[in-house]
Chains A and B, each alone.
Chain A
Amino acid sequence: MLEILTANRLSDGDVVYRTAAGDWVDTIDDAELIDDTDQLTVAVAAAQADVKASRVLDVAPIAVETAEGHIVPKRLRERIRAFGPTVKSDHRPGAV
């Protein structure tokens, strides 16, 4: 099963994903794709160290698929976290 690691950044709460280099970024496509249990264990341990270091919170592995070169979470909840609220229109600048 293909997975990536997600969390919320401590300072602003934003949704972030863990890259292969161990950085936390906003763009889901830059997340490290993991399909190996040992690799996942290592990544989670490193991510937990970032929780300890007060960089991120709520670390979780999530199941994803790749489609046309993009990473798409399997669960709706995670798709909403990744791509934003699905509401048709709201008052956010630039929202449709």
Chain B
Amino acid sequence: MYRYDEFDATFVRQRVAQFSDQVERRLRGEITEDEFRPLRLMNGVYLQLHAYMLRIAIPYGTLSSTQMRRLAHIARTYDKGFGHFTTRQNLQFNWPALKDVPAILAELAEVEMHAIQTSGNCIRNVTADHFAGAAFDEADDPRPYAEILRQWSSLHPEFSFLPRKFKIAVTGAAHDRAAIRLHDIGLEVKRGDDGGIGFAVHVGGGQGRTPMIAREINPFVPEADILAYVDAILRVYNLFGRRDNKFKARIKILVHETGIDELRRLVEEEFAQIRGGVLGLPAEEAERIRAYFAPPAFTARPAASARLDAARAGNPALDRFSRQNLHRHRTPGYTSLTVSLKPIGGIPGDASADQMDAVAAIAERWAFSEIRVSHEQNLILPHLALDDVPEVFAALAEAGLATANAGAITDIIACPGLDYCALANARSIPLASALSERFGAPDRQDEIGPLSIKISGCINACGHHHVGHIGILGVDRKGEEFYQISLGGNPDESASIGDIIGPGFFADGVIDAVETVVDTYLKLRTSPGETFLAAYRRLGEAPFKEALYGA
């Protein structure tokens, strides 16, 4: 796993000292809120409805057991005993006091964590496939490149005041689990004809009020050129991106207004000038960073686990869990396990301090101390021997973390919504809880199969509603919560933005409306093998519209 080098450590320590001083001056009244706000945002501190909120970066979603324990400790000591894992592979604490934030940041720095670049118009935390370095279908581990991008973009003077925030995601597999087509830049690691590493580069994706799918700007940029190429995109964006209107400032608008061909020309021009310069990525440097992400010491094992199979045969709960929450690993005899943070009726993404400690301990004992945060707001143990799954399942069950629903209809993404967020129009969490209860029966979930529901409490789309198979957006209708439903969104390599299906629903009608949509799908699918998304793509809106609103 990547370790801070001296530069990182020094700069994070300096930043903590600097911000501690700024907080003290603010508390003494020596600086005003207008002066302080940009400083606190640069350090991940927002003011929400009930309290401050601290957003902590988890670069490419990778955490060690030590770091997870520290998050648990912070939750217990400075917050209300829990934290919220987000779709940005960040962790948010909902209740910290401003006066405690310097101490929290100092505690984080000790375990090589921080809250820098989690806000503001800079390059945000680089996200990656949560199965990175483990998945069977990967060209290569995307995290070294996410790390290289992180180093390049950290406190980059030229890119600290972009027209708007900038989000980069990287996947190592053609099957996109990192929603790269919904980011300002999305990179897919590929192998060239000679086996060398390169990247398909997508640009201009985004959600928010104007959702757009990224366009491919270059099908293959060789490894050595990738920083220069990304830099060229940022330079063009910095120059031509709109600063006159906050709602038109994301690069997706530039792509849309300029056209991908013209943008490609501008980027290539810029790239031609800087290519091979200081931003070259020498093979040795890539190798040096890759070494930090070396796979753990796997032992030779048979591909199938007789031990697990026997345990499954005698334990239906374990069997169901194994069917639902395990993902195929590239090393025989190993698996990646999803620790669902979606208990039936619970709050998507929340974990208590005790649960964080439990996951840290489980990872330490059975999974090489490695944990991931997924953009689906779950945790992942990326490297686990199939033989150990029965013990891990039992330990997770003890901590209330053995919900068998990864990818199922109750694996709902929801933003904090009006229960926490100052920008919200409507609540998201209670809706997620109610939907989870409505569909929570195991048989019902199995019958429905893979189906994602994603909920945002306002048009900013933090809950990814545009790319939910069923998306729900909260709006304000004359002071009442009102919900729009969209269908057919999808975040992977066949990305699509959902279609708003018709007039919205008040809170008391939206759960039934979703069930109507689901029942319509069940009735019309050609076979249980036809997923909701496939059926919707085949059928179009019409039958769903009719079921919801009549002919």
A residues near B (Cβ < 8 Å) are 8, 10-15, 51-54, 57-58, 75-77, 80-81, 84-93
Contact = CB atoms under 8 A, between A and B. Distances in A.
Interface stretch (B255-263, B265-273, B346-354, B444-452): B346-354
A47 to B, nearest CB: 14
A57 to B, nearest CB: 5
B97 interface: yes
Contacts of B29: 53-54
Contacts of A13: 47-48, 50-52, 96-98
Nearest to B51: A13
B26 A10 contact: yes
Contact of A86 (B32, B97, B346, B427): B427
19 contacts: A8-B47, A10-B27, A12-B52, A12-B97, A13-B98, A14-B51, A15-B49, A15-B51, A53-B29, A76-B418, A77-B418, A80-B419, A81-B50, A85-B50, A85-B429, A87-B419, A91-B81, A91-B355, A93-B80
Contacts of A81: 49-50
B82 interface: yes
A90 B82 contact: yes
B82 A87 contact: no
Contact of B27 (A54, A57, A80): A54
A91 B80 contact: yes
A85 B420 CA distance: 7
A21 B29 CA distance: 22
A87 B97 CA distance: 22
Contacts of A77: 49, 418, 424
Nearest to B416: A85
B479 interface: yes
Contacts of B82: 90-92
Contacts of A87: 347, 419, 429-430, 433
A93 to B, nearest CB: 6
Contact of B419 (A57, A58, A85): A85
Contacts of B50: 13-15, 81, 84-85
Give me the 3 closest cross-chain CB pairs, A-B, nearest first: A54-B29, A91-B82, A12-B97
A91 B420 CA distance: 15
Given A57-B47, A77-B418, A51 B33 contact: yes
A76 B27 CA distance: 31
Interface in B229-269: none
Nearest to A57: B33
Given A57-B33, A87-B430, A92-B80, A12 B350 contact: no
A93 B75 CA distance: 12
Interface string B139-155: 00000000000000000
B345 interface: yes
Contacts of B32: 52, 54
A75 B430 contact: no
A15 to B, nearest CB: 6
A79 to B, nearest CB: 10
A88 B355 CA distance: 19
B488 to A, nearest CB: 29
